[in-house]
Structure 1
Amino acid sequence: MSRTYSFKQVQILPVTPAVAWQFFSDPANLARITPPDLGFRVISLYHGNHIYPGQLIEYKVSPVAGISFYWMTEITHVKELEYFVDEQRYGPYSLWHHQHHFREVPQGVEMTDIVHYRIPFSFLGDIANSLFVKRRLQHIFEYRRKITETIFQ
């Protein structure tokens, strides 16, 4: 079995909690905050406009050499204006658990992402994480940080 990896990113956005929540709880904005080189697109037809527990969202993503993967996540937990959690139900990881936390601070909203993930293929997944998966995820979240700074300036 491969290891479970995790990372955390914290960012301050100069907006109200309601503005941050409205933006990040709308699945249509996922593609907007994902690097274009991933070929990310939401493909589910009936996912709704705002997150809710039990919601399934389907995507296509091309993270490696233009190879397209199907990915389905479920929104498992929601506390409006405070946090939500998405978990992979089908896709490239053997585990994907992504927490999105929002906390009001004097400068606006502190947004924290906490991700736990595991790559399939036992020790080969661990090698893949060391060689490229970890860096790719860091690239995705750094892009999100930069693009949200631009969106909310």
Structure 2
Amino acid sequence: MKMYQLYAEQALPISMEEAWDFLSNPTNLKTITPDYMGFDIVAGAESNMFEGQIIQYIVTPIANIKTKWVTEITHIKDQSYFVDEQRFGPYKLWHHKHFLEPIEGGILMKDIVDYKLPAGVIGQMVHPYLVKPKLKEIFEYRADKLNSIYGTHSDRRTVLKLKSF
């Protein structure tokens, strides 16, 4: 079974506190998700993130097919990182690490998503045509949205890489 990884980084001209306040609030995920995804939080976003928190979403990633997605926040270090893992949803495995680090004039946000697709060989066959481009589009949208909210950092650093193992 093939494993895939998405790596993204983005520099933002904001303080660590401002970045953490935004990113550790689950309701803000809707703000940085494309509207066509029909992203709605069903339960679990009543407070800022904490270890063990279960958050339930409904998303409509393709062909208006509503999909339930349940994640657990498994690790948190205040103003440094958090990890969300899919407990139920469209992927066989989804492990998303979010890191924040201070840089001159702002913060560097890094995401590492390790994921596996369901359906064996069929999942592997659709990955380059459906999943990979969709994830690329979602993370590019997120980067653009964060730049529109907070401005662009002077080094304009935005990186997005997808690879398989």
TM-score by length of structure 2 reads 0.90
1:66 to 64, 67, 73: 64
CA offsets 1:57-85 (integer angstroms, 9 cap, x no match) = 00000111000000000000000000000
Shift of 1:25: 0.3
Distance in 2 (CA, whole Å) between partners of 1:74 and 1:128 is: 27
Letter matched to residue 23 of structure 1: F
2:140 to 135, 142, 152: 142
Contact 2:81–2:99 (CA<8 Å) still a contact in 1? yes
Instruction: Give the aligned partner of residue 31 of structure 2.
Output: 32
Distance in 2 (CA, whole Å) between partners of 1:49 and 1:138 is: 29
Contact 2:72–2:85 (CA<8 Å) still a contact in 1? yes
Q: Which has the higher contact order (CA 8 A, sep 6+)?
A: 2
Distance in 1 (CA, whole Å) between partners of 2:73 and 2:82 is: 7
Tell me the number of residue pairs that the alignment of Structure 1 and Structure 2 aligns: 151
After TM superposition, what 4+ stretches of structure 1 lie above 4 angstroms from structure 2? none
Letter matched to residue 61 of structure 1: V
Q: Indicate the percent of aligned positions where both proteins have the same amino acid.
A: 42
RMSD: 0.8
Contact 1:28–1:49 (CA<8 Å) still a contact in 2? no
